[in-house]
Structure formats: C-alpha cells, structure tokens
Amino acid sequence: MDMDNMQVKILKALAHPTRLKIVKKLLKGTLCVCELNEDIDFSQSNLSQHLKILREANILIQEKDGLRVNYSIKSEEVTQLIFIVEKIVEKEIKNLTKQMGGE
C-alpha cells in the first residue's frame, strides 16, 4: 500500500462517530474492551469490529491480559490529530456565532 492510501486508511478509520468516540475515550489512557463497552449503545460484536478497523489503521494497539483485551492509542500524533480536528470545529462554531451576531 502506498503512503496516500495509508493516510486515507487512517482518516477513514477516524471518520465514524462510534470510532471517534472510542478514540476520544482512550485519550485519557488505556481501557479494556469491557470498559469501552460500558456506556456505549451498540452491540459487543459491533464494538469489536470497530476496534479491528482502528487496529488495522495503526491507530490503536491491543494488549491481551488474560480474559481481557486492553486498547490504547498508538502514537502521540493521533492525539494531536484529534485535537486539531476539534480546533477546526471550534473555530467554525466561533465564526458562525460571529456571523449571526453581525446580522
């Protein structure tokens, strides 16, 4: 796979509400699947499928520990990426409210 496709794979993996939610939960640190499953509204198998996509995109790493499987964010850059996307949206919202005030 070439670099462009690898980049698309990362972006695609993050471009889903459930998966973005999972990654954001992991910003604070490692969690096992059971913890990720807690306040989430979809099935266990679905969560597992999303985790696989995030693993294969090299966004998360998996560590087995007995019955449990722990997931964590693989690199600092992924965290930075999330923050930048958040910043872009914050700016958008700021612009929108500014426009509304001026009219």
Partner DNA sequence: TTAGTATATTAGAATATTGTAATATACTTA
Partner DNA sequence: TAAGTATATTACAATATTCTAATATACTAA
Region 15-74 residues binding a copy of itself, contact defined as CB under 8 A: 15-17, 20-21, 58
Tokens 């939960």 locate to: 25
> Toward a copy of itself, which CB reaches closer, 13 or 47?
13
Q: Phi first, then psi: give them for residue 64, nearest 5 degrees.
A: -85, 140
In sequence order, the β-bridge partners of residue 32 are 70
29 binds, among a copy of itself, DNA, none (CB under 5 to 8 A by kind): none
Sign, CA dihedral 86-32-16-42, equals: negative
Smallest distance from the beta carbon of 66 to a copy of itself, in angstroms? 27
Q: Which of 48, 52, 63, 89 binds a copy of itself (CB under 8 A)?
A: 89
- Burial category of 39 from C-beta neighbours within 10 Å (exposed 0-12, middle 13-18, buried 19 and up): exposed
Residues in contact with DNA by CB under 7 A are 12, 16, 18, 32-34, 37, 42-53, 62, 64, 66-69
Q: Which is nearer to a copy of itself, 15 or 34 (CB)?
A: 15
How far is 53 from 64, CA to CA, in rounded Å?
Answer: 17
